[in-house]
Amino acid sequence: MSRSTCLLVVIVLCGIAVGCIPVPKKTVAHYGVEGRLTDAATGAPIAKSRVSIWVDGQEFKKKTNPRWEFKVAFDMHHFCTWLGGPWWADATRAAVDIAIDGYTPYQRTFVVRSESLDVPLPPDQGRLKESFVMLGEIEMKRREQVTAPSVAPLRR
């Protein structure tokens, strides 16, 4: 038997002896997001553009593909607990911020898992597919450019 196998057997036997069996678990630390970007004024796709996406405060630099889609991967938290012991639940919400040059930033928080027993169905649960929040089509509004007022030349 290999050394790692012997160590695992010892851990399991000790766990059984004291009533604790280690169990590996994983939860969603932050959800992934995916969506499509369009110009709100024209309806035109924003394809092949650099975009900054923040999910729960973590920044991801992406580029929209030819179908104007972007995707940010989810992050899992791996931990070990014991049978019947504490465990951590999946994140309940996803705060999403999207910034692209020339457009007003998009910001929204999605509640995808129930935060308490009083609220059995969170409002954005239907957007959750596996560990991704499906944003759908996001209409980005062009940022208004501020120009200095024109001043007529003084006549003498």
Question: Do residues 56 and 94 make contact, with C-beta atoms less than 8 angstroms apart?
Answer: yes
Residues 6+ apart with CB under 8 A from 114: 92, 120, 121, 122
- Flag whether the pTM goes above 0.85: no
Distance of alpha carbon 70 from alpha carbon 76, whole angstroms: 20
pLDDT at 119: 65
Q: Going along the chain, which residue ranges are E strands?
A: 22-30, 32-39, 50-55, 58-63, 69-72, 75-82, 93-99, 106-111, 128-129, 132-140
Maximum C-alpha span of the chain: 102
**What's the CA angle centered on 60, arms 110 and 131, to 5 degrees?**
45
The tens place of each residue's pLDDT in the chain, 156 residues long, gives 688 887 778 777 766 665 566 778 888 989 999 999 999 999 999 988 899 999 999 999 999 998 889 999 999 988 777 666 666 778 889 999 999 999 999 999 999 988 776 767 788 988 999 999 999 999 999 987 655 555 555 555
Q: Which residues pair with residue 136 across a beta bridge? A: 35
pLDDT at 14: 66
Does the structural domain 24-140 have CATH classification 3.10.20.90?
no
pLDDT at 85: 64
CB atoms within 10 A of CB 138: 17
Edge-first strand listing for the sheet containing 69-72: 69-72, 32-39, 132-140, 128-129
Residues 6+ apart with CB under 8 A from 125: 112, 113
Strands 22-30 and 58-63, sheet pairing: unpaired
pLDDT at 32: 94
pLDDT at 36: 95
pLDDT at 5: 84
Residues 6+ apart with CB under 8 A from 152: none
pLDDT at 8: 74
